[in-house]
Amino acid sequence: MGCTGNVTSGFVAFKSPAAGASFTRDQLGTTGAIVAPVEVEVDRDGDIKRVAITQGTDELGDVDGSGKLRAEVTGPGLQTLTATAYDDAGSSLATATVDIMIDDPALADCHAWLDLFQQDYTLGPANPGVADPVTAKVPLNGMVYRYSDNTTPRTTLYADCTLIRSLLEAAPIMRKHDIVEVADIGVYNYRCIGGGTPPDCPNGISQHAYAKAIDFAGFKTSDSTTYTVLTDWVIDTSGTTCTAATEDPKDDFLHQLICELKQKKVWNIVLTPNYNSDHRNHFHVDLTPDSNFIKRDLWDGAD
């Protein structure tokens, strides 16, 4: 249900969209995300300078003089839009919310998702374990990738199509954090968890064997500041990873980044240096089916 908020000097309420309305995210938005265009209209009254529309922590824009905005809403699933009215001094006068549903489009396959992102790629080559191999042209949705041991960026990245799609989904979120380059430790490695060669894997097959995992070693922002997992992530196993206290700005940056990516459901599993010593120098992210966690350590479960 939509709701309105009132104070003595302001009033705002949603006229559209209607509570519970459904929309399909099937367009490439201005940020590089796949979005559902939603026509927003609000009623307002009082000493209001502007009305901002947000989706969670994402700013979608301000309504125009007639109270309208064509918003680009991401998803999928139930999403809450918030209208906040501000006065000349920037103080909040009133708020209103409305819940809507964002559906995925009915696409034929993963390749259609890559096409929707306008991503250049070729099929193959075939390798053991990889169900839908593609070689994607880099940058991916504008994001530069560089193998961590190299000084020059990648020109292509080989992976299962579903991992490429996840990296295309991740790019707009990374740009929110001013990231312009990702240093990675690789994708495809036909191996078992903890060693060995598939299919003889006592501890299971690594998602790297399916080319559905990538390891992030570091990130660079537009001012050339680097954030390196090995040196800038401060290990803390006293609490859950995404609520743990951070110790300095770089540690905080890395926590906010990886936790937002997980919260936005870009990947099913995230392992940080808090997990175990094998992950001290990278974030491991993968698409393990029917899983959903960012693990703190190997022995006492997920958070």
Domains of the chain: 5-103 (2.60.40.10), 110-295 (3.30.1380)
- Whether omega before 139 lies within 30 degrees of 0, making that bond cis, reads yes
- Tell me if residue 25 falls in helix, strand or coil: coil
What's the pTM?
0.91
pLDDT digits (tens, 9 = 90+) for 128-147: 999 999 999 999 999 999 99
Give the pLDDT band (50/70/90) at residue 303.
very low
pLDDT digits (tens, 9 = 90+) for 158-204: 999 999 999 999 999 999 999 999 999 999 999 999 888 898 999 99
Distance CA 254, CA 251 (A): 5
- DSSP at 192: B
Does an H or E element contain 251, and which? helix 249-263
pLDDT digits (tens, 9 = 90+) for 235-286: 987 778 888 889 999 999 999 999 999 999 999 999 999 988 899 999 999 9
Q: What are phi and psi of 17, to 5 degrees?
A: -75, 165
Nearest alpha carbon to residue 58 among 38, 87, 42, 41: 38
Q: What is the mean pLDDT of residues 149-163?
A: 98
Distance CA 101, CA 148 (A): 40
Percent with pLDDT over 70 in the chain: 95
pLDDT for residue 301 is more than 70: no
pLDDT at 2: 52
Give the pLDDT band (50/70/90) at residue 296.
low
Burial class of 39 by CB neighbour count within 10 A (0 to 12, 13 to 18, 19+): exposed
Question: Which amino acid is located at 176 in the chain?
Answer: K
